[in-house]
Each structure stands twice: as structure tokens, then as C-alpha cells.
Structure 1
Amino acid sequence: MDRYTPVFAIAAAAELAELHPQTLRQYDRIGLVSPKRTAGNTRRYSLHDVSQLQEVGRLSAEGLSLEGIRRVLKLENRVRELEEHVRELERALSEERLQRPERRVFAAGGAGGEVVTLRRGTRVRRSSEVVVWRP
């Protein structure tokens, strides 16, 4: 079971969200928070739905309209999706970096400061000469 598994009946979800069950029905009708339905067509709310209902109650108490709340929830859900996508890309990049044995190392070159490619495990040989600059 995860936070998206629909387990709560409308009465339990309303109690957890500290809202009236009729309010939950209204939110479902307007598409604000839409729970899953059972085979018998009864609503089942997940922990995610309950947290969204709590957020709706908080935003409503702050004076936002239902349309404003719908937009805020839509944007928050989109941010969550994008954050998950970024995490997936970061995991894929980490795996790719670990699996590529031909990884290259770069360093600053000699006197000109150019960038040079090195094989793994090697270092740039630095000169130890001293240069005195006089204007």
C-alpha cells in the first residue's frame, strides 16, 4: 500500500480532512479532488487525496476561490511530476557515469592554460620553474 492506494470511504476521508462529506462530494463534482471509484461506484480516497483535501481546506480558509485552488493544486501536482522526472534523469545519469569505463578527465594544460584530456589515473606534470614578472 502506498499513498495513492484508495482505502478511505467518504466519511473517514471527511473526518481526516476535517471537512463535511457533502463538501467532498462537491469537490469531486467540480473536479477539485477526484477519488477512485469501487465496482459499486462508491468513492474511495487515498492518503494523497486526503492531504489534497486538507490543502484545499487551508487555501479556502485563506480566501482563495475554488478555481484558484484548482489551479494551485494542478501546479503543485505538475511540480511533483517534474521533480520525479528530474530524480529519474539523475538516477539514469549516475548509472551511465558508473557504467562508462572510458570516462575522461580534463585538466588545465601548461603555460597557455588550455584544457587537456587525460587518461584516468594520470596527472598533469607541472613545471616547477619560477617566472618573475617586471613591468
Structure 2
Amino acid sequence: MVDGVKKRKEKGYTISAVSEAYGIHPQTLRLYERHGLLKPSRSKGNTRYYSEKDLERLEFILTLTRELGVNLAGVEIILNMRDKMDAMQREIQRFLEYLRMELGERLVSQVTEKFALVPLNYSAWLRARVSASESEDERDVSFTYIEHDQ
């Protein structure tokens, strides 16, 4: 909640409350809305109500314009890129959750299967090399990936 500004029931903050709290003219908020930078909800009487999310976005806009000198066209580009990045991040998280669920059960069997394909003599050589390097206090062991035909 904006300090000292009352939220009207659960609808949000009015344009006058927001403009007063942030020290900007109500017309500036209307301009941001016309440019698509802010999208406050509307009441049946067409009154604008700004949510907490709208206020966070407004603060970001004000930081870009006041502190960094970005014009409205630049703000629009930055906000669109940020929205796209947020959407991509959500997609990546959903995909990772899917992979964890799908591969979690199969991963152990697949890894075990892959290591079963390595010839026994190579496995013995690898164990001997690791043991030798540990005894010589070498902690960095390099491995070469070799594909085997089946």
C-alpha cells in the first residue's frame, strides 16, 4: 500500500490518490494509460482503480523516466521486453517442473543404462586413474567422452 493513501475497499487506489502519493499530475497517469504503459481497472462508473501491481509498474516507469531519462517510447519497449521475459521465465519454470517429474523417475535408469554401455576394461582404467590421481594429491581429473557403437 502507498504510504498515507487509503485503498477504496478492495478495488484499488483512485487516480487522485495515486497522483498525490507519487507527486505526478493525474493527466500524466492518463497519458501512461493511453500509451498502454498502465492498465488500471475500471468501475461501472468508469472510475480508474490502480492495483498494487499497477503501482509497482508505475514506480518502474517513474524510475526509468525520472532517474534514467528514458522517453515514453523507450519505456514502452523496456516494459514489453520485461513482460516477454517474465512470460518466458514462467514457461521455463513450467518446463523444468515437467522435466523433473518426467525425468526424475527415468533419470536413474537412463544413467545406469548409459554406464552399462561402457566396456568393463574402460571402467577399470577409469577407476585406476582416479585412484592414482587421488594418491598423487591431484584433484583435477579430466575425462574424455567417447561414444561407443552398439
Task: Identify whether the pair has TM-score above 0.5, normalized to the shorter chain.
Answer: yes
Higher helix share: 2
The residue that corresponds to 2:70 in the other structure is 64
* Offset at residue 35 of structure 1 (A): 1.3
Q: Does 1:28 align with 2:70?
A: no
Quote the residue 1:110 is aligned against: 119
1:10 maps onto 2:19 in alignment: no
Which residue identity does 2:97 align to in structure 1? R
Which residue type is aligned with residue 94 of structure 2? E
Q: TM-score, normalised by structure 1?
A: 0.68
Taking only aligned residues, the RMSD between alpha carbons, in angstroms, comes to 3.0
Q: Does 1:80 align with 2:73?
A: no
Q: How does 1:83-102 map to 2 (within 5 A)?
A: 83-100=89-106
> Which deviations, in whole Å up to 9, do the C-alpha atoms of 1:62-82 show, x marking residues without a partner?
221111111111111111111
Determine what percentage of the aligned residue pairs are the same residue: 28
**Residue-by-residue CA offset, 1:10-56 (whole Å, 9 max, x unaligned):** 23333454433221111112222121222221112122211111111
Residues 10, 22 of structure 1: CA spacing in aligned structure 2 closer, same or farther, 3 A cutoff? same
**SS of equivalent residue, structure 1 residue 34:** coil
Unaligned residue ranges in structure 1 (runs of 5+):
114-123, 131-135
1:54 aligned partner: 59
Q: Which has the higher strand share?
A: 1
How many residue pairs match? The answer is 115
